[in-house]
Amino acid sequence: MVVHRIIIKAFYDLYMNQNKSMPKSIIRTYSRYSREASLLLGELIRVARKERKLTAQEVADRAGISRGLLQRIEKGDLKCEIGAVFEVAVIVGVKLFDADETTLTRHIRQTEDKLSLLPKSVRRKSKVVHDDF
């Protein structure tokens, strides 16, 4: 009887520890523009995949993701990892920017140059306190 209690308690503790370590889902609100842009990108990916006559499983395998994640990407789910979305877009041939690779590299360098001239962090100006009575 004591052994049964010990085993039950061990399973209970294991179960409770697993539930405590589970991250709570974060509820985010997204702007209408973000939702529509994600939906459009997902639909463009689906159209490109079907035009190339690729199955969802083939694209998922090439991208190294699950078929379920690919389905969520194609539905425009905003909670998908951006790297996975970009990789799938490249695989099916959806251009993310209106530029080829060399132009994209040039834009990256220009942006890096601009960032090097800007301050490393942005701070709000502190309000001047007028304590004259």
Give the domains, in start order, of the chain with CATH numbers: 30-117 (1.10.260.40)
- Return d(Cα 84, Cα 64) in angstroms, integer: 9
Write out residues in the chain with pLDDT < 70, as ranges: 1-24, 133
Q: What is the reported pLDDT for 4?
A: 57
End-to-end CA distance of the chain: 78
pTM over 0.75: no
Q: What is the reported pLDDT for 105?
A: 87
Q: ∠71-72-73 over CA atoms, to 5°? A: 90
